[in-house]
Structure 1
Amino acid sequence: MAAFTRRRSDGPIYSTLVAVGLAIFGIVAQQMTTLPAFLLDPALATAPTETSIASRAAVLILGFVGFFVAGGIYLAVTDRGWSYVDLRWPTRREWRYVLAGVGGGIAFYILISLIVQVLSLPSAENQVSTYIGNDQTMILVMIAIVFVFNAPAEEFLYRNIVQKRLYDAFSRLQAVGIASVIFGLIHFPVYAALSESLLATAVPVAVVMGGAAIFGFLYAKTDNLLVPIAAHAVFNGVQFGLVYIALEYDLETAEQSTSLLFDTVSLVVAVALPF
């Protein structure tokens, strides 16, 4: 079992600033890698759901490639090399962590979505949903993207690079908390651009922090990047699968009980899919 130890080769302020810089660098790299997609199909910036599935898939994939690029550059510049990446096939015990992470994530987001509904809290639209719309084929494509690009890229940069970098100055639990806050805050501008109020922005940002904490804890406990990757991918895959089912069976216009299910699924996806 990975011990929650403290290693202090850096001061906490310096280590935090480096982690924030890495997170921001990831967003900058993402903007650069998606630029070719927008140049080839400018409509992606104004009416993404009217573009082809290939164009939408390309911009999403290239965005996650940006995270790989940012992390790779950091490993090269700091001479850490690819041996710094904690990637191995999970043990039986680690697969149990994967299942616990998926189950805990689903329970957490269902609870949050119900709280949002009961309190009638506003929530900003997610940027990924602007590329999907009600296109069922795009939802299936997005499930593939989640497994191949989304989960591996985000976990690589924000867990194996950002969170692990924080281990140099903080305990692992502290590093999980700080990395989760950083991960949530870098999404603030994205949600703010799609929101009409500060509260509507704060709700999904807070939920993103919670999700990051779950996956960060899995990584801290196992020192195996494949564990949070697997949990993240399955969790997001379940989310998109539920949306596909809701659209396939037209739950939005069904009777009240199934309509509530559609609202819950929509809220979960709207606040839980960081991009």
Structure 2
Amino acid sequence: METPSRSTDTDRDGAPLRSTLVAIGLTVFGLLVAEFSTLPAFLYDPALLEGLGDASVEGRALLLILNFVGMALAGVIYLVATGRGLSWIDLHVPTRNDWKYLIGGSIGTIVFLYVVSLLFTLLNVPAAESNVMDIVGEDQTMILIMIFIVFFFNAPAEEFLFRNVIQKRLYAAFTRMHAVIVTSVIFALVHLPMYLLTGELVATFASLTIMFGGSVIFGYLYAKTDNLLVPTAAHAALNAFQFAILYLAIEFEIEDAEPAPSILLEAITAVPLL
């Protein structure tokens, strides 16, 4: 689709508070639409009402797919309702420069995940538990399905809503890098209530730090390329790498190996799918 021109200082409307509130509202709207969109999954497999661990593989997969479809739908509804239209979506064939950012960003996020996890391990900082292990359990088939989901639903939906809609909307009031930071703060804080229920404040901080840092990297990739495919591919590569490590850990029973497998596994269980 046609790529809108880059925003400049003269394009900003000087309303950072209003733009931030719109961004927060879009996040809440996205979460609400995602929740409603999952209702067919509960009809398909009522066991989901008892918990993800009690549901079938098909039920869990359908729940996740519909969740991310709903998230993307929320972004589309906003673009249509505000008159921006689908031309607002930054999709085009990656250029040579885009490929550089895509490859560098994919490697960078994996390195970031490992380095931060290693640092937290050395400092004995725990990581809060997320719903990832509830979703996959010890089921290797579900892990393989998750790799498919992150490539075709998870990464595209999250990057579309948080980068191409929310971050791009913030360009109207902030510089690009400030918009990246604001978007990343919102992305991390939206998970705060879930983690606070555990009562582990240090673990919560550790997990949100990983999420914030990853979001900054993806936001930077989008800001530099104006191509949604770049952060989406980097995001999918990171999540696929995480699940691949988890698959190998279960397959070869290396959960307690040191240092790399156990550190990466801790990082996996610390970062939810949103």
TM-score (norm 1): 0.93
Structure 1 counterpart of 2:265: 266
Contact 1:109 1:272 in 2 (8 A): no
C-alpha change, 1:192 and 1:130, in structure 2 (3 Å) is farther
Q: Equivalent residue for 2:200?
A: 197
Alignment of 1:47-126 (within 5 A): 47-126=51-130
Note closer, same or farther for the CA distance 1:39–1:120 as it changes in structure 2 (3 Å cut): farther
Q: Could you say what secondary structure the match of 2:99 adopts? A: helix
CA-CA distance at 1:3 after TM superposition: 6.6
Larger deviation, residues 92-101 vs 29-38: 29-38
Q: Which residue number corresponds to residue 214 of structure 1?
A: 217
Change (3 A) 1:172 1:44: same
Query: For 1:241-256, what aligned pairs fall within 5 Å after superposition?
Result: 241-252=244-255
Structure 2 unaligned segments of length 5 or more: list them: none
Letter in 2 for 1:229: T
* Equivalent-residue separation in structure 1 for 2:204 and 2:49 (angstroms): 21
Looking at structure 1, the residues matched to 212 and 42 of structure 2 have their Cα atoms a distance apart, in angstroms, of 29
Deviations 1:137-190 (A, max 9, x none): 100000000000001000000000000000000000100000000110111123
State the secondary structure of the residue aligned to 2:13: coil
**2:262 alignment partner AA:** D
Letter in 2 for 1:261: A
Q: Deviations over 1:221-269 (max 9, x none)?
A: 000001101111111111111111111111025xxxx254332121121
Aligned to 1:176: 180
Counterpart amino acid of residue 222 in structure 1: T
2: CA distance, partners of 1:27 / 1:259? 37
Give the aligned residue type for 1:84.
W
2:235 aligned counterpart, secondary structure: helix
- Residue matched to 2:153: 149
Alpha-carbon deviation of 1:99?
Answer: 0.7
CA contact (8 A) 1:124 1:192 kept: no
- SS of 1:83's partner is helix
Answer yes or no: is the 8 Å Cα contact 1:49–1:130 preserved in 2. yes
Query: Take 1:10 and 1:77, find their aligned partners in 2: how far apart are those partners?
Result: 23
Normalization by structure 2: what TM-score?
0.93
Write out aligned runs for 1:133-144 (5 A). 133-144=137-148
Distance 2:195 2:61 in 1: 21
Identity %: 48
Give the corresponding residue for 1:231: 234
- Please tell me whether the aligned partners of residues 211 and 272 of structure 1 are also in contact (alpha carbons under 8 angstroms): no
Residues 1:185 and 2:189 are matched in the alignment: yes
